Amino acid sequence: MLMSGGSILRRRAAVLAGAWLAIGAAGAARAAEPALPGDLFVGRLLRLGLSDEAGIEARRLMLENGAEAVAPETAYRVGMALAVEGKPSQAVLFLDQAAAATEDPTRADQIQLAAGVVLLRGKEFPHALHVFARVEAFGADAPTRAFATRLRCVAEVMAHDGAAARACIAALPAGAVPRDAALDALLGALEVNVRARAIAGGILSALLPGLGQATGGAPGDGLLALVVNGGFATAVYFLIADGSLAGASLLGLGVGLRYYFGNIHNGAEAWRATAERKREQASRTLIRILGPAP
């Protein structure tokens, strides 16, 4: 059964209140023990699945008591929980905090890479590329730097930057990916100029209505464009032959021209869509080759 927005809010409030009561009861039963640390409460909220509330509580603790009030691993867990909830900007704040406070440099690099992957999933490509490039250049150990390079290549592929992806993959160690004709063809597909393809499709439809659509993977739309524009052209011809220049002008310029330009636009869009599909298919295949996909 679907729950209303009010029911969901009441449920989350009840769970949060229950967590506070449970902590209070535990503290009362162990009066001789110190109060429950706020960091531990954040962890309990995470275990209850309340990532938003955990993030709010962690931010409150850090604002009131400083960044050290939340342990690095707790900040990391909050960041990953928020990432799972689809909130990359909030997640990255905690992941950056966790990386900055982590004493182990290798672990800090790993958390930074996790932040980069979160940004990548949020399609924030320039920021993700900056994170990967930084770890690639200053990482604590060779395996982590190599993994950062691979992730940077994945980011270039996901951004559909064919030239940058080709250069990045060429810089990978020998044997990291197969260097063959299939890889070169995929990179070539990623480098397809979508704008040039759209212009070509529009020109074809300008020369012959429906030709851009038919050659761009939409033969049904091409046939319809040919029939409609051909019908208008035939009607205009007969009106002119009958001496009805005013009617021919009204039909041709007032109505037919609109469909003609619409046909050109549709031809361009058909070629654009085909080029975009080609790039997307190549991108997915390249990510599988580079793996692991973020």
Which tokens hold the place of 149? Answer: 């390079």
Give the residue extent of every domain in the chain. 13-28+35-190, 194-290
Minimal CA–CA distance to 101: which of 73, 127, 126? 73
pLDDT of residue 5: 47
> pLDDT at position 174, please?
75
Lowest mean pLDDT among 163-167, 178-182, 203-207: 178-182
Percentage of the chain surpassing pLDDT 70? 78
- Are 212 and 266 within 8 A, CB to CB? yes
Check pLDDT > 70 for residue 1: no
Query: Average pLDDT for residues 149-160, to the nearest whole number?
Result: 92
pLDDT single digits (tens) 221-258: 888 888 877 776 676 555 566 666 565 565 555 556 67
Class of domain 13-28+35-190: mainly alpha
Q: For residue 71, which amino acid is it?
A: A
- Does pLDDT of 213 surpass 80? yes
| Six token digits for residue 287 | 């990510």
Q: What is the pLDDT of residue 175?
A: 76
Is the per-residue pLDDT at 18 higher than 60? no
Lowest mean pLDDT among 99-113, 229-243, 258-272: 229-243
What local confidence, expressed as pLDDT, does residue 138 receive? 93
Spatial CA neighbour of 82 closest among 68, 98, 64: 98
Per-residue pLDDT at 240: 66
Which residue is associated with the tokens 């990359």? 88
Residue-level pLDDT at 277: 93
274-287 pLDDT, tens per residue? 999 999 999 999 98
Looking at per-residue pLDDT, the higher value among 266 and 13 belongs to 266
Burial annotation 8-37 (CB, 10 A radius, 16+ → b, else e) = eeeeeeeebeebeeeeeeeeeeeeeeeeee
- For residue 8, pLDDT over 50 is answered with no
Alpha carbons 21 and 261: distance in angstroms, whole number: 68
| DSSP per-residue codes, the chain | -PPPHHHHHHHHHHHHHHHHHHHHHHHHHTTTSPPPPHHHHHHHHHHTT-HHHHHHHHHHHHHHH-GGGS-HHHHHHHHHHHHHTT-HHHHHHHHHHHHHH-S-HHHHHHHHHHHHHHHHHTT-HHHHHHHHHHHHHH-SSHHHHHHHHHHHHHHHHHTT-HHHHHHHHHTSPTTSS--SHHHHHHHHHHT--HHHHHHHHHHHHHHSTTHHHHHTT-HHHHHHHHHHHHHHHHHHHHHHHTT-HHHHHIIIIIIIHHHHHHHHHHHHHHHHHHHHHHHHHHHHHHHHHH-S--
